[in-house]
Amino acid sequence: MERFNIVFIETKNSKQSLLGRTAADFMLREFADFPAAESRIVKEEAMKAHPDGYYMKDAINVILTLDMPLLRKSSIERYVALLRMKKIAMVRLGGKDSASLISIGKADYDGIFVNDEDFLKIDDTKSYNMVYNLLKDRILDFHLSEGVRIVDKTTTFIDDTAKIEVGAQILPFSRIEGDSVVKRGASVSASFVRNSVIESEATVEMSHIVDSCVCARATVGPFARLRGAQISSDCRIGDFVEVKASKLGKGVKAAHLSYVGDADVGDGTNVGCGTVFCNYDGKDKHKTTVGSRCFIGANTNLIAPVVVGDNAFIAAGTTVTRDVEESSFTIGRVKQDTKTMTK
């Protein structure tokens, strides 16, 4: 069995972030189970100062800069086999002057060099763009092979850290970042999703979702924004609705043009157009609690902290400043006064 010594060199571009991970993260994960007798990470400056100090005479030395996130173990294994077959002492990976190489012992001459796609390194904005797009295609191809429906690879971006279940559908102009999960049967279209869960049969369309959960069969969008929101099953969050740090119960509907902030809203409640949960008094944030099966009329202002009981009805145009009892009717408009205009 071959005896390996592997040395990873930290460079200025090792920490470049691509699709949810740094370049170094991609490489270290790929080589986590590489059968090496020795495995080290060294600074670029240290390697330059003591270039001979990290080789092993009785081993195959694999020296890799941590700025090649496309690199795969299979490529290293292929070139190790080539060294043995062709009786070559060294192969440089990526170019004649590359610091990344494979050598048998400490070779005294340059040997050959190869410049496969795997050995593309991040040097500048142009190389970053090339590596990014090749890596993006690899990630998308993996999901396609697993049974995820991705309609247009060109306009779809999925971080390597995201999990997309078989049977999910990712439609054009979508970006899914961080620790997001899109479950079987869910659909995401033209939306930004970060660190969020989209559960089975939920639909997200042209929306911005961060640190949130959209439960089964809920629909979000178009043009909705969720921040730290818990959207329960069968909810409807419509156009130009923002939900921040709030939990909406089953079947809640906020169809359009509303802000729900720092709130708990009970099952089956309807939040009318133009409703604002007024959570900020200029200094502190306050909570609003709305019960189940309530009707919140259009252009209602709920001045937190306030509690609205179950089955309450709040008339359109009302500003609520005191708690509302269960099964009550609240109206807070100024009486209409219409006068004849004189010419």
Residue type at position 1: M
Helix (H, G, I), strand (E, B) or coil at 192: strand
- Alpha helical stretches, state H, 267-313: none
The Cα-based distances of 9 to 26, 101, 173 in angstroms read 14, 11, 36
- State the distance between the two ends of the chain, measured CA to CA, in whole angstroms: 103
Residue 102: both structure tokens together? 């494979």
Are 267 and 281 in contact by the 8 Å Cβ rule? The answer is no
Report the run of H or E that residue 28 belongs to, with start and end: helix 23-30
Active site residue 50: no
**Looking at 50, 208, 256, 286, which residue is catalytic?**
256
Q: Tell me the C-alpha distance between 261 and 210, whole Å.
A: 14
Q: Tell me the C-alpha distance between 303 and 318, whole Å.
A: 11
Q: Tell me the C-alpha distance between 48 and 263, whole Å.
A: 58
Which residue bears the tokens 């119960």? 249
- In angstroms, what is the C-alpha Rg of the chain? 29
Enzyme catalytic residues = 256
